[in-house]
Amino acid sequence: MEVETTFKYPAIKNYIAGQFSEPASSSTLDVFSPLTGAVISTVPLSGMTELDQAVKAAEAAFPAWSAMPIKERVQIFYRYKTLLERDMKALADLVREENGKTYDEARAEVEKAIELTEFACSMPQLIQGEFLEVSRGVEARAERKPLGVVASIAPFNFPNMVPHWTIPNAIVLGNTMILKPSEQVPLSAVKIGELLKEAGLPDGVLNIVNGDKGIVEAICDHPDIKAVSFVGSTRIAKVVYIRASANLKRCVALGGAKNHLMVLPDAHPDMTASNVAASMSGCAGQRCMAGSTMVGVGAVDHIVAKLVEEARKITVGQNLGSVISREAKERIEQHINEAEAAGAKVLLDGRGVVVPGHEDGYYVGATVIDYVTPGMRIAQEEVFGPVLAIMRTNTLDEALAIENANPYGNAAAVFTQSGSNARYVMDNANAGMIGVNIGVPVPREPFSFGGWNESKFGACDITGKSSIEFWTQLKKTTTKWNPESRTNWMS
Ligand code: NAD
């Protein structure tokens, strides 16, 4: 006899043409709350059949949606913004439960989603076209047009914010969309779909299909999807970029990171210590902008001491959430074990922590490891946990050489009170987002988000002004209405 199990949240469904629908496939995965280790829902593993239904719905919605003037399209997103504000607590609670963040971190993620929505509402002011009389009586104009059906594939670490990197901009610009949330955190996307419907988004403009590898491959292969954005690890970003491009789609694929925080002896000790500690441990270190590596240049022992003091105040279950899974916890602790065995010095050890009452949750405490050398695995790979690896150099050039040699290029930062040293790092760090006395240098709107090297594949950034180029194509029209105007070589 089959035993029916009920979880805290109903089984996740796909959202196609404005309806939550059962997928054709009966395969599912369990969804865990990393706070407790409990199963809280199930997520379907959709494939090409469900994707095709979603693409058909998005194609059917495209003519009317793209024909609506942009000033009308943004009205829906103005309403949506107020709904995000109204439901802030419920949205933050969902993020916390499925991802494991602290409530404040989850709330900050929703606040960022609101800022992203506000930016999309400013699109009518940003996408005016161009016009010129290019010859007597001949006028040329260039205007931005949507691409059609586009897709957005999201990672686990920001269940609410990363979908908002793409949904408001792409849709306001006239596209219709398929969202594929991470199978580890599919709950927030359900609420996003519900709120957009309540705001008045026509059915079929946003569709949500759930699954893992299979549905991502189907998105890359589907002939009627024009563009794919991806955010996740570098390994999968490469696969998606190559596959989508081979299928002649526009693609931007953001990958992982290894961000270096260069600390000079003249840095402000308190500000540097609290910034570095927050950068490495915020969201349990599961940010592509996390400062996971500090390079201390010269005599910085006094700053390292303050940093350890700051990191000691970070308490799991209070101001430090959980990591995403049991596997992640094991991987992070293995990195610490290996670094220690290779000769690094663990100044603060977060291995083996337990949160009373949440003994089965996936927690790692804040960890600071000094005297890491560039050859160690912890200095090279993305750890994605609340762990800081400190390397030491004698000169800023040596620190920059370490930063430049890493294959990623999301962020880099310098802590100093010297303008010329700061400028030197701005000029010579090999990363797309640079911080000066800022540990998490996320460019806020209207500036765009995107790294370099193996942290991003594709020409445009994923947010801000740069994303306008990604989500639109230029139509150039040349017009002549006056038959008497002189003719020349072009008319
Ligand atoms: P991930 O690469 O495992 O998964 C991302 C997406 O790819 C998910 O939707 C997943 O279902 C799908 N996927 C997983 N395996 C796949 C496969 N074999 N084939 C096709 N699709 C597959 O990443 P994650 O663990 O969810 O997220 C963490 C990673 O994302 C980190 O590396 C982090 O640095 C990165 N990230 C980068 C940015 C950025 O802006 N550069 C932002 C957020 C997260």
The predicted model gives 293-314 an average pLDDT of: 98
pLDDT digits (tens, 9 = 90+) for 308-359: 999 999 999 999 999 999 999 999 999 999 999 999 999 999 999 999 999 9
- Do residue 190 and residue 295 come from a single domain? no
- Within 8 A by CB and 6+ apart from 118, the residues are 81, 445
- Do residue 251 and residue 286 come from a single domain? no
* Burial environment of residue 401 by CB neighbours within 10 A (0 to 12, 13 to 18, 19 or more): middle
Q: What is the pLDDT of residue 489?
A: 64
Q: What is the pLDDT of residue 327?
A: 98
The predicted model gives 206-221 an average pLDDT of: 98
- Do residue 51 and residue 187 come from a single domain? yes
For residue 354, is it within any domain? yes
Q: What is the pLDDT of residue 326?
A: 97
Say what the pTM is. Answer: 0.97
Q: Name the maximum alpha-carbon separation found in the chain.
A: 87
Cis status, amide bond into 124, omega within 30 of 0? no
Q: Tell me the CATH number at 277.
A: 3.40.309.10
- Do residue 373 and residue 461 come from a single domain? no
Q: What is the pLDDT of residue 303?
A: 98
For residue 446, is it within any domain? no
For residue 238, is it within any domain? yes
- Do residue 226 and residue 272 come from a single domain? no
- Do residue 114 and residue 52 come from a single domain? yes
- Do residue 169 and residue 201 come from a single domain? yes
Probe target for ligand 1 pocket from 156, 258, 384, 456, with the most ligand atoms within 8 Å of CB: 156
CB of 451 sitting under 6 A from ligand 1: yes
Q: What is the pLDDT of residue 26?
A: 84
Q: What is the pLDDT of residue 23?
A: 84
Structural domains of the chain, count: 2
Q: Tell me the CATH number at 238.
A: 3.40.605.10
pLDDT digits (tens, 9 = 90+) for 422-433: 999 999 999 999
Q: Is the pLDDT reported for residue 491 higher than 60?
A: no
- Contact yes or no for 416/266 (Cβ under 8 A): yes
For residue 9, is it within any domain? no
- Do residue 273 and residue 249 come from a single domain? no
Q: Among 3-12, 84-93, 436-445, name the one with the lowest average pLDDT.
A: 3-12
Count CB-CB contacts under 10 A for residue 477: 11
For residue 4, is it within any domain? no
Probe target for ligand 1 pocket from 51, 182, 239, with the most ligand atoms within 8 Å of CB: 182
Per the prediction, the chain carries an average pLDDT of 96
- Do residue 251 and residue 264 come from a single domain? no
Q: Is the pLDDT reported for residue 486 higher than 90?
A: no
pLDDT interval class at 1 (50, 70, 90) = very low
* Burial environment of residue 287 by CB neighbours within 10 A (0 to 12, 13 to 18, 19 or more): buried
For residue 444, is it within any domain? no
For residue 464, is it within any domain? yes
d(CA 24, CA 15): 13
- Do residue 232 and residue 289 come from a single domain? no
pLDDT interval class at 194 (50, 70, 90) = very high
CA nearest 390: which of 353, 435, 348?
A: 348
> What is the secondary structure of 39-102 as a DSSP string?
EEEEEE---HHHHHHHHHHHHHHHHHHHHS-HHHHHHHHHHHHHHHHHTHHHHHHHHHHHH---
pLDDT interval class at 165 (50, 70, 90) = very high
- Do residue 161 and residue 274 come from a single domain? no
- Do residue 235 and residue 94 come from a single domain? yes
Which carries the bigger pLDDT value, residue 26 or residue 107? 107
Q: Is the pLDDT reported for residue 162 higher than 90?
A: yes
Q: Is the pLDDT reported for residue 276 higher than 70?
A: yes
The predicted model gives 38-63 an average pLDDT of: 97
HEC profile for 156-167?
CCCCCHHHHHHH
pLDDT interval class at 128 (50, 70, 90) = very high
Domain hosting residue 370, numbered range:
260-436
CB of 156 sitting under 6 A from ligand 1: yes
Going by CA atoms, what residue is nearest to atom 40 of ligand 1? 254
For residue 174, is it within any domain? yes
Q: Give the ligand 1 atom nearest the CA of 240.
A: 20
Residue 379 C-alpha to ligand 1 middle, in angstroms?
21
